[in-house]
Amino acid sequence: MTKEAVLARYPPAPEVLLALLHELQGMNPGQYLLPEDLELAARHLGLPLSRVRDAVTFYSMFSLRPRGRHVVRLCASPHCHVAGAWSALDELRRVLGVEVGETTADGLFTLELTSCLGACGVAPVMMIDDEVVGNLTPAKVAAAVARYREGR
């Protein structure tokens, strides 16, 4: 589907901005928003570009930089921290070879930290795209990353 076709499904009302941005971001290979996406959204909704940028930079799930095909989000909330998220983070850094906020050279993974994922019963927890992986140990981290490397 083209971006114009996506736009056509949204009424020109400012309230749909976040949903529209989510969808536009998901259409780009790097899961990020291009400058022209912001312009498209602004024009379609009749908003100043500054207002769109304002929202994009406020919410942590929107990115203005390209990200990997899979986004790995490790929960850095106090509870996962107590449960040992730091050793999971060390392992993620090791198997991915990147620091937090960076993307692997092959463009496959971006490593991010997130606030609580609401799965504290199986802390420490991370999400790879929409999948929740819990009770993390270094071995589980490595296995989950390997699974995505092989295309699940």
Partner 1 sequence: MRRIQVLVCSGTACQSSGGERVKKALLEATAARDLLPEVQFVETGCMGPCELGPVVLVYPEGTFYVRVRPEDAAEIVEEHFLKGRPLKRLLWAGAAPQPQEIPFFARQKKVVLANCGVIDPERIEEYIALGGYEALGRALTGMTPAEVIAQVQRSGLRGRGGAGFPTGKKWELVRAGGPPPRFVVCNADEGDPGAFMDRAILEGDPHAVLEGMAIAAYAVGAAQGFVYVRAEYPLAIRRLEVALAQARKLGLLGPRIFDTDFSFDVEIRIGAGAFVCGEETALIASIEGRRGEPRPRPPYPATCGLWGRPTLINNVETFANVRHILLGGPEAFASLGTEKSKGTKVFALAGNVRNTGLVEVPMGITLRELVFDIGGGVPEGREFKAVQIGGPSGGCLPASLLDVPVDYDSLTQHGAIMGSGGLIVLDSSTCMVNMARFFLEFTADESCGKCVPCRVGTQMMLGILDRIVKGEGSPEDLLRLEEIGAMMKAASLCGLGQTAPNPVLSTLRYFRDEYEAHIARRSCPAGVCPNLVRYVVVPEACRSCDACRRACPTGAAQGEPRKGPYRIVDELCIRCGACFDACPFGAVRKLPREEAR
Interface residues with partner 1 (CB under 8 A) are 13-19, 21-22, 45, 51, 54-55, 58-62, 77-83, 114-123, 125, 127, 130-135
Neighbours of 84 (CB within 10 A): 15
Q: Token match 């020109």: residue?
A: 12
Cβ at position 5, least distance to partner 1 in Å: 21
96/117 with CB nearer partner 1: 117
52/96 with CB nearer partner 1: 52
13/106 with CB nearer partner 1: 13
83/96 with CB nearer partner 1: 83
- 34: tokens are 């291009």
4/15 with CB nearer partner 1: 15
Cβ at position 122, least distance to partner 1 in Å: 5
Q: Are 110 and 72 in contact (CB under 8 A)?
A: yes
Q: Give exposure, 7-16, as e/b (b: 16+ Cβ within 10 Å).
A: beebeeeeeb
Alpha carbons 107 and 110: distance in angstroms, whole number? 8
| 3-state class percentages of the chain: helix first, strand second, coil last, to nearest 5 | 50, 10, 40
